[in-house]
Chains A and B, each alone.
Chain A
Amino acid sequence: MSYLEPQGRYRGLAGWIFSTDHKRIGVLYLWSILSFFSVGVLFGVLMRLKMLWPGEHLYSPQMYNALFTLHGVIQIFLFIIPGIPAVFGNFFLPLQIGAKDVAFPRLNLLSWWFYIAGAALALTSLFLAGGPPDTGWSFYVPYSVRTTTNVVMPVFAAFVLGFSSILTGLNFITTIHRLRAPGMSWFKMPLFVWSLYATAWIQILATPILGITLLLIMGERLLNLGLFDPGRGGDPLLYQHLFWIYSHPAVYIMILPAMGVISEIIPTFSRKNIYGYKAIAFSSMAIAFVGYLVWAHHMFTSGMSDFARALFSLLTFLVAIPSGVKVFNWVATMYKGSIKVEPPMLFAMTFIFLFSIGGLTGLMQGALGTNINVHETYYVVGHFHYTMFGGTGMGLFAALLYWFPKMTGKMYNKRAIVVAWACIFVGFNLLYFTMMVMGWLGMPRRYYAYLPQYQPFHIVATIGSWFLAAGIFMFLYAFLRALRKGTPAGANPWGGTTLEWTTASPPPLENFHEIPTVTRGPYDHTGRADA
Chain B
Amino acid sequence: MSTAAATLSIEHAHVDPKGSRIGMWLFLFTELLLFGGLFLLYAVYRAKFPADFHYAAKNLDLTIAAFNTVLLLTSSLTMVLGVGLLERRQRKASVLFIVLTILMGAVFLVNKYVEWSHKIHLHLYPGSAELADRTMGENIFYGLYYAMTGLHGIHVIAGMIILGFMVAMLRRPPQRTVAVPVETLPGMADKNVTGATVTLSYAEDEELDTRRLSRLENAGLYWHLVDLIWIFLFPLFYLIS
Q: Is the CB of B140 within 8 A of A208?
A: no
Instruction: Check if A227 is an interface residue, CB within 8 A of chain B.
Output: yes
Tell me which of A100, A226, A242 contacts B40 (CB under 8 A).
Answer: A242
B127's partner among A211, A226, A235 (CB-CB below 8 A) is A226
Residue among B144, B146, B147 with the highest chain A CB neighbour number at 10 A: B147
B49 within 8 A of A: yes
A-B contacts, 18 listed (Cβ < 8 Å): A103-B23, A169-B26, A173-B22, A174-B19, A174-B23, A178-B19, A178-B22, A179-B19, A205-B30, A208-B30, A211-B30, A215-B151, A226-B139, A226-B140, A232-B140, A233-B49, A238-B40, A238-B44
Instruction: Known A174-B19, A233-B137; judge A238-B146 contact (CB<8 A).
Output: no
Main secondary structure of the interface of B (DSSP, over half): helix
Is there a chain B Cβ closer than 8 Å to A104's Cβ?
A: yes
Give the docked Cα–Cα distance between A297 and B34 (Å). 23
Tell me the chain A residues, 325-361 only, with Cβ under 8 Å from chain B.
none
Across the interface, do A208 and B31 meet the contact criterion of CB distance under 8 Å? yes
- Check if B126 sits within 8 Å of A223, measured CB to CB: yes
Q: Does A33 contact B (CB under 8 A)?
A: no
A70 to B29, CA, bound (A): 31
In the complex the two chains form, what is the Cα distance from A520 to B33 in whole Å? 39
- Contacting pair A207 B147 (CB below 8 A): no
Contact of A224 among B38, B127, B144 (CB under 8 A): B127
A233 & B139 in contact (Cβ 8 Å cutoff): yes
A50 to B12, CA, bound (A): 57
Instruction: Write the chain B residue with the least CB distance to A515.
Output: B8
Asked if B240 CB lies within 8 Å of chain A CBs, one says no
Residue in chain A with minimal CB distance to B179:
A8
- On whether A227 and B143 interact (CB within 8 A), knowing A174-B22, A177-B22, the answer reads yes
Contact B147 A219 (CB under 8 A): yes
CB distance from B103 to the nearest CB of A (A): 29
Within 8 A of B (CB), among A220-246: 223-227, 232-235, 238, 242, 245
**Which interface residue of B30, B31, B49 has the most chain A CB atoms within 10 A?**
B30
Interface check B165, CB cutoff 8 A: no
Distance in angstroms between the alpha carbons of A107 and B24 in the assembled complex: 12
Task: Name the residue of chain B whose CB is nearest to the CB of A173.
Answer: B26
Considering only CB atoms and an 8 Å cut-off, how many residues of chain B contact the other chain? 36
**B176-187 to A contact mask, C-beta < 8 Å, 1/0:** 000000000000
A-B contacts, CB under 8 A, total: 102
Given A208-B32, A225-B147, A227-B41, 19 additional A-B pairs, CB 8 A: A107-B23, A169-B26, A170-B23, A170-B27, A174-B23, A178-B16, A178-B19, A204-B26, A208-B30, A208-B37, A216-B37, A223-B127, A224-B127, A226-B126, A227-B140, A233-B48, A233-B136, A238-B41, A238-B44
Instruction: Say if the beta carbon of B36 comes within 8 Å of chain A.
Output: yes
Is A212 close to B, CB under 8 A? yes
Nearest CB in chain B: distance from A186 CB, A: 16
- CB contact between A209 and one of B19, B33, B44, B136 (< 8 Å): that residue: B33
In the complex the two chains form, what is the Cα distance from A208 to B38 in whole Å? 11
User: Could you list which residues of chain A lie within 8 angstroms of chain B, going by C-beta atoms?
Assistant: 100, 103-104, 107, 166, 169-171, 173-174, 177-179, 204-205, 207-209, 211-213, 215-216, 219, 223-227, 232-235, 238, 242, 245
B116 CB within 8 Å of chain A: no
Closest chain-B Cβ to A3's Cβ sits at a distance in Å of: 15
The verdict on B45 contacting chain A, using a C-beta distance below 8 Å, is: yes
Query: Is B18 part of the binding interface, using a Cβ–Cβ cutoff of 8 Å?
Result: yes
The answer, yes or no, to whether B67 is at the interface (CB within 8 Å) is no
| Cα A170 to Cα B30 with chains together (Å) | 10
Bound Cα distance A102, B44 (Å):
41
Chain A nearest CB from B140 CB (Å) reads 5
> Chain B residues with Cβ under 8 A from A213's Cβ?
37
CB within 8 Å for A225 and B143 given contacts A173-B22, A177-B19: yes
In residues 124-180 of chain B, which contact A (Cβ within 8 Å)? 126-127, 135-137, 139-140, 143-144, 146-147, 151
Q: Once the chains bind, are B147 and A227 in contact (CB under 8 Å)?
A: yes
Q: Give the complex CA separation of A41 and B29 in angstroms.
A: 36
Contact A100 B12 (CB under 8 A): yes
A209 to B140, CA, bound (A): 20
A208 pairs with B36, CB closer than 8 A: yes
Q: Which residue of A lies closest to B52 (CB)?
A: A233
Q: Are A233 and B18 in contact (CB under 8 A)?
A: no
